[in-house]
């Protein structure tokens, strides 16, 4: 068993052993009690909107430009005041090379999504849930009111810095297994003696694995042997959402020590356990541990459907999450809010 897999598998109290998370497909039952509680809190609703936010990988130069003269631009001004440095240039003028850096990319995605949410939030009546993919979970916590904007922006920056430091200390890669089941991905990772793990369970037929360079290469080769359609290397700077990020996960609680989480306006579905959480407890631990464990997005989408979602509203640049939703819960409508012009689509949601 490789050292990275063995030494940190049980580092956090109450955390499932790594082999369980990899080989049992990340599928322990969702908390039905939490689902029922959330439904009672929400009450009856004709149209159930789940608000979802993208993560790193959706950034492009100038993605914030359409919002420059919109009233929602005040989000950037508030973030700059809290952060103590200019941020507007990240979403207006930063070239692709700069946005390839983890910190800049994540702040760019976070800010653009928050601007879009600020523009529409008063028009989204009683969402059934909030959720975000990877970094998008931080956005979801801010949008739901669970995490203050100023604290959230600072935390996102430190989260990016610490995960990049972990990636520099423990080099790794990621690869998308297209056409793979979670079981096939787990089998492929088990064949990688140098360390590979499931990092993202995104949708039926799309599972991302990550680990050491040799581990990902071995897992990709094994995946092809067992019938996976394609293993596509991803252009990222580390093995995110694996035990190779343990240093970052261990350091993040200190970054949240002085942050007070509030009760969200609607349940927030966590990447960590794919469960809906309608209170403010334990988000310090979830937000830290999140970076070193798989993103359970496929299950998270199903959780939102179970909560009564009839539509997804993807808030931020791109349509990555819309594609995953259509493969996972095809009966649910999906709309995107990326520009001021998209705000008119809200009337059509549902």
Report the C-alpha gap between 27 and 34 in whole angstroms: 17
Q: How many CA atoms lie within 13 A of 178 on its CB side?
A: 6
Cα dihedral 261/265/266/270 (nearest 10): -20
Q: Is the dihedral of CA 194, 197, 199, 204 positive or negative?
A: positive
Neighbours of 243 (CB within 10 A): 27
* Residue among 113, 133, 134, 287 flagged as catalytic: 134
Picking from 245, 47, 223, the residue whose alpha carbon sits closest to that of residue 128 is 47
CB-based contacts of 343-346 (< 8 A; 24+ apart in sequence):
343/119, 343/120, 343/123, 346/120, 346/123, 346/124, 346/313
241 is known as an active-site residue: yes
DSSP 315: E
Picking from 275, 274, 276, 277, the residue whose alpha carbon sits closest to that of residue 298 is 274
Report the C-alpha gap between 205 and 187 in whole angstroms: 15
Contact yes or no for 161/133 (Cβ under 8 A) = no
Report the C-alpha gap between 230 and 184 in whole angstroms: 12
CB-based contacts of 319-326 (< 8 A; 24+ apart in sequence):
320/54, 320/57, 320/58, 320/133, 321/52, 321/53, 321/54, 321/133, 321/136, 323/203, 324/202, 324/203, 324/206, 324/297, 324/298, 325/52, 325/203, 325/301
DSSP 32: H
Picking from 251, 280, 300, the residue whose alpha carbon sits closest to that of residue 130 is 300
* Residue among 241, 277, 290, 317 flagged as catalytic: 241
344 contacts: CB under 8 Å, gap ≥ 6: none
The set of catalytic residues is 134, 241
């Amino acid at each position: 068993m490789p050292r990275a897999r063995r030494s940190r598998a049980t580092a956090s109290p109450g955390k499932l052993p790594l082999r369980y998370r990899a080989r049992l497909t990340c599928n322990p039952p969702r908390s039905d009690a939490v689902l029922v509680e959330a439904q009672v809190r929400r009450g009856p609703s004709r149209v159930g909107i789940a608000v979802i936010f993208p993560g790193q990988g959706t950034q492009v130069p100038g993605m914030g430009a359409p919002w420059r003269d919109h009233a929602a631009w005040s989000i950037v001004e508030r973030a700059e005041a809290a952060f103590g440095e200019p941020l507007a240039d990240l979403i207006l003028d930063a070239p692709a090379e700069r946005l390839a850096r983890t910190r800049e990319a994540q702040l760019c995605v976070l800010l653009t999504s928050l601007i879009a949410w600020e523009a529409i939030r008063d028009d989204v009546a009683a969402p059934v849930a909030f959720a975000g993919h990877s970094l998008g979970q931080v956005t979801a916590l801010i949008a739901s009111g669970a995490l203050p904007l100023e604290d959230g922006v600072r935390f996102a920056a430190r989260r990016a810095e610490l995960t990049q430091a972990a990636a520099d200390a423990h080099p790794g890669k990621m690869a998308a297994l297209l056409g793979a089941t979670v079981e096939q991905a787990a089998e492929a990772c088990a064949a990688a003696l140098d360390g590979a793990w499931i990092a993202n369970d995104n949708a039926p037929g799309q599972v991302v694995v990550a680990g050491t360079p040799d581990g990902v290469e071995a897992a990709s080769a094994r995946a092809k042997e067992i019938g996976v359609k394609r293993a596509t290397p991803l252009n990222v700077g580390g093995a995110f959402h694996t035990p190779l990020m343990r240093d970052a996960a261990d350091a993040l609680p200190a970054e949240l020590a002085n942050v007070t989480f509030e009760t969200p306006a609607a349940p927030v579905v966590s990447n960590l356990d794919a469960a809906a959480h309608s209170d403010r407890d334990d988000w310090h631990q979830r937000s830290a541990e999140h970076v070193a464990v798989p993103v359970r997005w496929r299950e998270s989408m199903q959780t939102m459907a179970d909560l009564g979602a009839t539509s997804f509203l993807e808030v931020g640049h791109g349509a990555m999450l819309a594609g995953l939703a259509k493969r996972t819960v095809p009966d649910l409508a999906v709309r995107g809010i990326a520009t001021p012009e998209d705000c008119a689509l809200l009337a059509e949601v549902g």
